[in-house]
Amino acid sequence: MFRDPSLRVFLFLPILIFLAINYFLPFLIGKFPVVNDYVIYIVIVATIENVQMFGFIYSMVLIDEKETEVAKVYGILPVSKFWFIIFRMLIPMLLTTVLTWLILMLQPFYSLSPLSVLLFSVLAGFIVPAYVIGIVNMCKNRMEGMVWIKVFNVLVLIPIAAFFVPGPLGNLFGIFPTHWAFQGMHNIIIANDYLWQLLIGLVYFMVLIYILAKRFSLKHFA
């Protein structure tokens, strides 16, 4: 990762998100008070954008291993390929969880429960392996990877539209796993029941990661 300057740049993304929420957004509200009506959605999207930092970095690393055939070397190791990739995702999951928690606890707009934010942050951490493994499964080289990253970025963020469509139509976005993270975070902020949404999201991502990791273990090391 540190050999590639384009990947190192993404390590500053959490700092940029922190600065945008804590300093630029209050300034923007002072200039344009109407922005205040959308703060809750901006905060939610910003926390999910944090997820994409390690999503991008690890996707590029794994695709590079595929291109350079380093993955074939891993493939002959006497370990389970499925658990190899699962354990490899633990560090980005943990770091994403911690960074998401810090961003939400330090934002100046809402007083949030540390426990509820931690539960959401854990769910946000689960987005990373689904994002990474899904992208790597779909492409053979870095060029294809860049295209699929743009596609996955849209898929991750599109459920925010559920807040802007009338009534029951918003439930249609439940097909996207990040929908449940968005809804759970929204309910945490407005102090509504959020546990069932986070639980649905967690189960959804666990099943999705299992399916994607199984396919990954069959293709990536060949």
In the numeric block, the tokens 């968005």 are attached to 182
Query: How high is the pLDDT of residue 83?
Result: 82
Whole-angstrom distance, CA of residue 106 vs CA of residue 21: 9
Q: Is the pTM of this model over 0.85?
A: yes
Three-class secondary structure of residue 113 per DSSP: coil
Decide if pLDDT at 218 tops 80. no
Q: In the predicted model, what is the mean pLDDT of the chain?
A: 86
Backbone φ and ψ of 2, nearest 5°: -80, -10
Give 196-205 pLDDT, tens digit per residue.
999 999 999 9
> Residue ranges per domain, the chain?
5-219
